[in-house]
Amino acid sequence: MSNGRLSALPCPLPAGPAAGSPVLLLIAHGSRDPRHAATVDALVGLVRRARPSVEVATAYLDHCAPRIPQVVDRLDGRAAVAVPLLLGRAFHAKSDIPAALRATGADLPVADVLGPSPLLLDALDRRLAEAGLDLGSAAVRRRTGVLLASAGSSDPAANAATRALAAEWQRTRGWAAVGTAHASAVPPHVPDAIAALRAAPGVARVAVAPYLLAPGLLPDRITTAATAAGADLVADTLGAAPEIAALLLHRYEHARHAAPAARALSA
């Protein structure tokens, strides 16, 4: 991020020959809710169709199988790039995934998390349009306040990154206002954030966009709270959107090309 704005994605990196492509090891959080794993599977399907030359393996941090040690063991020494299916750099990205990979003894390059990226804004727009908002109308955007509702984190930097994304969404897409709320114990909470948006100048309707990758406990909590607070529209989670698949592949390509250069500098 530069000057408070999201940087555009660089030009696509070369994929390289199929034989030389490392495995894309997608690391998801995991959930007891079966909708989570189903969403991850659907997203993996999009990635495979977009890049058939790249083998994709999935591992979970918790609740679901297979776990990271099992999948790394199955790689049997083959080259791989770990790609976190995470929106921000909070505890899972900073601690859990690196620790789990270190415990396997594998020295894998780890890609950056998905956010921030203009592709995330495109995916959020997609979900709002699917929920019935007329995004083609500039007048509708100027009268709509959007609530970017995330899980929330105990890491202040992660919450600040979500607020920065909300500010960029408003600046680049012409919304009347964009606020943030959290589904966890960290304020602001959904009802208070919706009330603040309703009071913002020019806001005639409030749309809620869950900033979460898959259905589960927290997205359900957001939907319930938003409905009770009188939101005019609640979108679906980001889920298996083509923009998310493209972003995963971009993070993979960047990490696989950066790893040799980093090793050469270290040497």
Residue 138: is it exposed, middle or buried by C-beta count within 10 angstroms (0-12/13-18/19+)? exposed
Closest CA to 112 of 264, 37, 9: 9
Residue-wise pLDDT tens digits, 148-198: 999 999 999 999 999 999 999 999 999 999 999 999 989 999 999 999 999
Q: Which residue has the tokens 């909708």?
A: 35
Nearest to 81 by CA among 241, 266, 250: 250
Give the residue range(s) of CATH 3.40.50.1400 domains in the chain: 18-114+241-266, 118-234
Tell me what pLDDT residue 185 has: 87
CB contact at 8 A, 141 and 30: no
62-87 pLDDT, tens digit each: 999 999 999 999 999 999 999 999 99
Does domain 18-114+241-266 match CATH 3.40.50.1400? Answer: yes
Instruction: Please list, in sequence order, all residues whose beta carbon lies within 8 angstroms of the beta carbon of residue 132, skipping any fewer than 6 positions away.
Output: 233
CA distance 191 to 228: 8
Q: What pLDDT is recorded for position 4?
A: 36
Q: Could you say which DSSP state residue 19 is in?
A: G
% helix, strand, coil for the chain, step of 5: 45, 15, 35
d(CA 102, CA 141) in angstroms, rounded, equals 46
Alpha helices (runs of H) in the chain, residue ranges in sequence order: 34-50, 68-75, 91, 97-104, 118-130, 138-143, 156-173, 190-198, 217-228, 242-266
Residues of the chain with pLDDT under 50: 1-18, 264-265, 267
Query: Residues 151, 182: contact at Cβ < 8 Å?
Result: yes
Q: What is the pLDDT of residue 7?
A: 37
The answer regarding whether domain 118-234 maps to CATH 3.40.250.10 reads no
Query: For residue 262, what pLDDT is reported?
Result: 54
Distance CA 130, CA 126 (A): 6
Q: Quote the pTM value.
A: 0.89
Q: Which pLDDT does position 92 carry in this prediction?
A: 87
Long-range contacts of 197-203 (CB under 8 A, 24+ apart): 197/145, 197/146, 197/147, 198/145, 200/145, 200/176, 201/176, 201/177, 202/142, 202/143, 202/176, 202/177, 203/143, 203/144, 203/145, 203/176, 203/177
Cα 215 off chain centre by: 13
Give the relative orientation of helices 97-104 and 68-75 as an angle to the nearest 10 degrees.
40
SS3 91: helix
How confident is the model at residue 8, as a pLDDT?
Answer: 35
